[in-house]
A and B are shown apart, each in its own frame.
Chain A
Amino acid sequence: MQDFGLLLLNKDFTAGGNIMLNVTVCGLVIVFMVLIVLVAVIGIFGAVMSKSKKSPKKENTPDNGRDNYDNEDEQTIAVITAAVYSYYDNNKSIKPVIRSIKPSNKNSGRGVWQQAGMRQNMQPF
């Protein structure tokens, strides 16, 4: 069981005199060493993954002068458009046309809806 420890420590590891210092220093060093290795491995892995994610996207992006929306975005646009139309529903002289939708970055950078979503996501915790 102590082979690994003996590789790192001197021979009188079990003698008792230095055990306090040895276990503390070596323990902390090994814990940090293992987790630093994990930082490096996961960091490299994350970088590789995000690269491989970005490259095919560029190739497949149709450049037709319009913003690209996936299904989810289209749903969001539909919801926002419906909300704007319903807001102006009583005033028949105004016929709104949605030309673009941009996120608002006022104050905190996190809108009311985002904050509400955040709270909802964190409720289980």
Chain B
Amino acid sequence: MEFFNSIFNTIGGIFAASGFASFFVGEGWKNLIMIGVACFFMFLAIKKGFEPLLLLPIAFGMLLANLPGANMYHPEIWQTFLPDGTLNSQFWSEAANGYHVIVGQVLSHGGLLDILYLGVKLGIYPPLIFLGIGAMTDFSPLISRPSSFLLGAAAQLGIFIAFIGALLLGMSPAQAGSIGIIGGADGPTAIFVTSKLSPELLGPIAVAAYSYMALVPVIQPPIMRALTTKKERLIRMETPRPVSKTEKIIFPVLITVVVVLILPDAAPLVGMLMFGNLLKESGKTERLAKAAQNELMNIVTIFLGTTVGATTTGTAFLNINTLKIVGMGLIAFCFGTAGGILLGKLMCVLTKGKINPLIGSAGVSAVPMAARVSQKVGQEEDPGNFLLMNAMGPNVAGVIGSAVAAGVLINMLG
């Protein structure tokens, strides 16, 4: 009998120490739900093709972080304060300009995903992603029609409307700023701002931002149709003028100097975006441009996606704040689209019908999907109407606009 008891005790002990048992202790059930969410995201990425390059790493990071005992990510490392309100002094130190994570401690005690998460925490990955985006982006439509910058600015309206909404829902100003930036429709920007202002919301905000970006073709068209008349949608625009190589080379330098001098907080994003673009346009650094837009971009995307996914542990994700973020994120997207369209209508009147207001909605970044939506909605009315190149102007202006808005929020709320 003692023999059987010993066997049962051993098996019971192994089970109690396994990850399975952890699902039934305390808030362990939340991990189980998150594993389900991770599988759902993997399904969306693989089967439905929703932003698979990002959604798949995010989903797998989510899966790894929610497997009890895997010890790849430790949320407790990233909490500046302990539950009793004292400083988490093992991993955090206090300095004159705020609290800083002790990198050496993270390297000694953290798991793989904790170490990779340092790239998010220290604000390294988003600017590197911007470097790759810059190396892939053609700014010619914006150079040929500089007024597109205004549409890129108007589409940032959603950021500030969502900021107000989040404040009214009881979020702190820093959290509200992070939620608002979802309206910039730019994943790296949202992650950059959130990691600076309210890192505790990083997971839900990143997931909301990327989900809504994938849903741009669903969210935008009804708003575009509601705010424009058929006559406006039928407007054919002139093809943008050709842009010389010299202009393309000087443009990134000019933008960097002007934006960074006005708003230094936007330097990491705008600076790297424009550096990437200069690598592409110079014509002399083809290898570097290719490395930025392929290898570097892919590596950083894997690191960024898995670590952002890892922050969505059950306790961090399954709470009322996530619902507020999802709701406000949608409002941000809708108002951003509306802001761009309304300014497009104004520009249409001022130019006596030369600008199709549909290109305004492309002012939310989401390159090139938002521009593609403008093209698609325009062609529904007139199949011979080609708005894509005209919409690419506001679209890339939106990238710069959301980086500027990010700088403003970090400056005011950081």
A23 touches B388 (CB 8 A): no
Tally B residues with Cβ within 8 Å of A.
53
B234 to chain A, nearest CB (A): 12
- CA–CA, A122 to B371, complex, Å? 11
Tally A residues with Cβ within 8 Å of B.
37
Bits for A48-85, please: 1 = Cβ < 8 Å to B, else 0.
01000100000000000000000000000000000000
Is B250 interfacial (CB-CB < 8 Å)? yes
B149 touches A36 (CB 8 A): yes
Find A118's partner among B156, B163, B386, B411 (CB 8 Å cutoff): B386
A42 touches B411 (CB 8 A): no
B411 touches A23 (CB 8 A): no
Task: Contacts A34-B263, A110-B384 given; indicate if A1 touches B411 (C-beta within 8 A).
Answer: yes
Bits for A1-45, please: 1 = Cβ < 8 Å to B, else 0.
110110000000100100110111011101111111111011101
Closest to B385 in A: A108
Q: From DSSP, what is the main secondary structure of chain B's interface residues?
A: helix
B324 to chain A, nearest CB (A): 16
Q: From DSSP, what is the main secondary structure of chain A's interface residues?
A: helix
Residues in B neighbouring A37, C-beta threshold 8 A: 258, 262
Interface centre among B150, B250, B386 (most CB of A within 10 A): B386
Closest to A19 in B: B173
Closest to B391 in A: A125
- CA–CA, A80 to B247, complex, Å? 33
Closest 5 CB pairs of A and B: A42-B146, A35-B153, A35-B149, A5-B412, A24-B160
Q: List 22 A-B contacts (CB under 8 A).
A: A2-B411, A5-B411, A23-B177, A24-B160, A24-B164, A27-B159, A27-B160, A28-B160, A30-B404, A31-B153, A31-B408, A32-B150, A33-B262, A38-B146, A42-B143, A45-B247, A45-B250, A108-B384, A115-B386, A122-B375, A122-B388, A125-B368
